Amino acid sequence: MKEREIAGKVLEFDDENFMVNYKDWDASIATALASEEGLQALNDRHFVVLDFLRKTYEEKGTGPTMRRLTKESGVPTKELYALFPGAPAKKAARIAGIPKPHGCI
């Protein structure tokens, strides 16, 4: 575990750069983490995904699978890849402040 200062807060991160305590997260942290991931700015559609990830994590103790994310969040696969290029589920989980979802490579 390592500590880093993000948006004026000292936060703990695991070895893969996922936040350890998801309750420390807020929109300013999301914006800073998104910038680190190469995203210019977050919009309402990004937050639909981030909020869905966080809600699922709070309810189930893990982030949703890619399939569930696209089926239940209201954000289709193509848009998800446009919002979070590369590995959208993993990248979005990191920005949402939740641990790496099970089954994520």
Residues 3, 25, 36, 64: is their CA dihedral positive or negative? Answer: positive
Separation CA 100–CA 104 (nearest Å)? 7
Place of tokens 């890849």: 81
Closest of 67, 55, 48, 63 to residue 18, by C-alpha: 63
Give how far Cα 82 sits from Cα of 2, 4, 35, 42, Å: 30, 28, 15, 12
Q: Model's pTM, two decimal places? A: 0.93
Cα angle value 28/29/33 (rounded, 5°): 120
Least confident stretch, 2-11, 17-26, 94-103? 94-103
Say how far apart CA 101 and CA 5 lie, in whole Å. Answer: 23
Q: Which residues are tagged catalytic?
A: 104
Neighbours of 70 (CB within 10 A): 20
Q: Which two tokens stand for residue 48?
A: 């639909």
List, for residues 86-105, the tens digit of each pLDDT value.
Answer: 989 999 999 999 998 766 55
